[in-house]
Structure 1
């Protein structure tokens, strides 16, 4: 089977994939544990019958260290393997919190400025400046996320290779 024809090839555009296998959850988990043991110095992780989390072994640990999360689910008479590439859930949650916080503050400060102008009050002369500061904070958060993603590109390639070699052999063509 060629990689271009699989669902795994869509990882370049979206960091998710879904494959079907004829193996049971237990057998798939055992095969994944064996593959992980064979590549002990390069990858580390935790594997059980429902979920597996794989990381690339490095000498450093940065905030955007990518992980491959594999989840096995029963669908009809097949087992679906869902994979997600990305940082830990704590990092995603932190960045979403920052985006949410800065966006709400921007809307609040801009609304204060707009209402002040409409009623011709001058109680909040700092509101427009504060709204621009929040836009700057959103831009800095975005830049930090992009920096982390670029820094982790090599590790993402290794995780993609791991996903291809460890799970592609079990993929079934859906007809």
Structure 2
């Protein structure tokens, strides 16, 4: 199979893939464990017959350290491997919480400003300033995420190579 990086891969925060194999869940997990043990100086992870999490071994860890999460399922009597590249779920959840919180606060403060202008009141003179601060915090959160992605780019490439080398030769072809 020919794999290539598309523009969509470059802009997605958590790129995904899906493949089918003729191996059973147990056989695929055993082959993944074997591949991981052969490359234990470069990768670490936890593997069972349904879920695998792979990390790149590095001397320093940053907050956006990428991981490869593989979920092994059975679909229509075939084994499906679903993969997601991205940071740990705790980091991902934290960033989504920040986006959500700052967005809601922006809407609240902007609504306060708008209503104040509509009723010709001066009860909340700080509302417009607060809404701009929320926009700045959203931009800072985005910048922090992009910076983390940039710092983890080499690790992402290694994880992509791991995914390709450990899974593609087991992929089912429709010949």
Say yes or no: TM over 0.5: yes
- Distance in 1 between residues matched to 2:91 and 2:120, nearest whole Å: 43
Aligned counterparts, 1:97-136, within 5 A: 97-136=97-136
1:140 maps to 2:137: no
- Distance in 2 between residues matched to 1:27 and 1:173, nearest whole Å: 18
CA 1:174/1:101 → structure 2, altered by over 3 Å: closer, same or farther? farther
> Offset of 1:61 from its aligned partner?
0.9
SS in 1 for 2:17: strand
1:57 maps to 2:71: no
Q: Map Cα deviations across residues 67-99 of structure 1 (whole Å, 9 max, x no partner).
A: 000111001121000000000111110000000
- Distance in 1 between residues matched to 2:3 and 2:111, nearest whole Å: 51
SS in 2 for 1:3: coil
Residue in 2 aligned with 1:170? Answer: 170
1:23 maps to 2:23: yes
Q: Map Cα deviations across residues 122-147 of structure 1 (whole Å, 9 max, x no partner).
A: 01000000000000000000000000
Where does structure 1 lack aligned partners over 5 or more consecutive residues?
none
Residue in 2 aligned with 1:157? Answer: 157
Where does structure 2 lack aligned partners over 5 or more consecutive residues?
none
CA 1:154/1:64 → structure 2, altered by over 3 Å: closer, same or farther? same
Moved over 4 A (4+): none
Q: Map Cα deviations across residues 12-62 of structure 1 (whole Å, 9 max, x no partner).
A: 355100000000000100000000000011000000000000000000111
Residue in 2 aligned with 1:96? Answer: 96
User: What RMSD, in angstroms, separates the aligned Cα atoms of the two structures?
Assistant: 1.4
- Distance in 1 between residues matched to 2:141 and 2:3, nearest whole Å: 35
SS in 2 for 1:70: strand
- Distance in 1 between residues matched to 2:166 and 2:45, nearest whole Å: 13
1:12 maps to 2:9: yes
SS in 2 for 1:130: helix
TM-score by length of 1: 0.94
Residue in 2 aligned with 1:33? Answer: 33
